[in-house]
Amino acid sequence: MKPYALKYFDTDYLKDADITKIGMYVWTPYSNIKDEFKDEVDEPWEDEDGEECIPIFENNLFRFCIDPMNYEYCMGSYFEEELLDEFFNNIIKPFNHYLVCAYHCDWRGRNGYKICDSLAEAFCRDYDVTQYYVGGSSGGKSICICEHSHDVPMGHSTMIIGLTDKEYERLNYWDVDFETVFEFADEISKKIIEI
């Protein structure tokens, strides 16, 4: 068996793609694009200094560019939210609610969880973070990602689990026991297939 996401993406892409940067463009000189990828990029345009530039996805910098550090961030409309939504829908099936369980997610090694109503909310953090796909269930109910932040630079595991209405009712009440939530997540994690 293989994870649900491998129906839509190859393993190398999933391992290398920082989820927080999917859909983000950067500018790089056209001369910085490796010859074998020049057919895969848009037509170059001239910047204010007369240099030919090209927008590429930030996750393609190391693959497409001769010097992956030779880029500038794009401003404004150079983010394609539709690509991020498509990515989300191709790594986990859509549910009305999601349980996010983060393991050893702060400098003290504490666990935490939240219940969200959208995948965008499930992946959103209020601090700088990188997120990489680690694996998922074959049916698309759950995924595991590795998150790197200032508090945990070596990374920690986070489970994102789609909840049925019955599971949501059982887990989403004010006096739910913390251990009950993590026992549920631990049981679901046994179905994760790593890539």
Digit-by-digit pLDDT tens for the chain (195 residues) are 999 999 999 999 999 999 999 999 899 999 999 999 999 898 898 888 888 999 999 999 999 999 999 998 876 557 788 999 999 999 999 999 999 999 999 999 999 999 999 999 999 999 999 999 999 999 999 999 999 999 999 999 999 999 999 999 999 887 789 999 999 999 999 999 999
Token digits of residue 2:
């293989």
- What is the chain's length? 195
Residue 133 contacts residue 117 (beta carbons within 8 Å): no
- Confidence at residue 76, expressed as pLDDT on a 0 to 100 scale: 56
Chain centroid to CA 127: how far?
A: 15
The model's pTM: 0.87
- Confidence at residue 112, expressed as pLDDT on a 0 to 100 scale: 95
Give me the phi and psi of 164, to 5 degrees please. Answer: -70, 165
Could you give the 3-state DSSP secondary structure of residue 50?
Answer: coil
Domain-wise residue ranges, the chain? 24-79, 92-194
Give me the phi and psi of 183, to 5 degrees please. Answer: -65, -40
- Confidence at residue 172, expressed as pLDDT on a 0 to 100 scale: 86
- Confidence at residue 74, expressed as pLDDT on a 0 to 100 scale: 72
CA torsion sign for 9, 144, 138, 82 is negative
- Confidence at residue 173, expressed as pLDDT on a 0 to 100 scale: 80
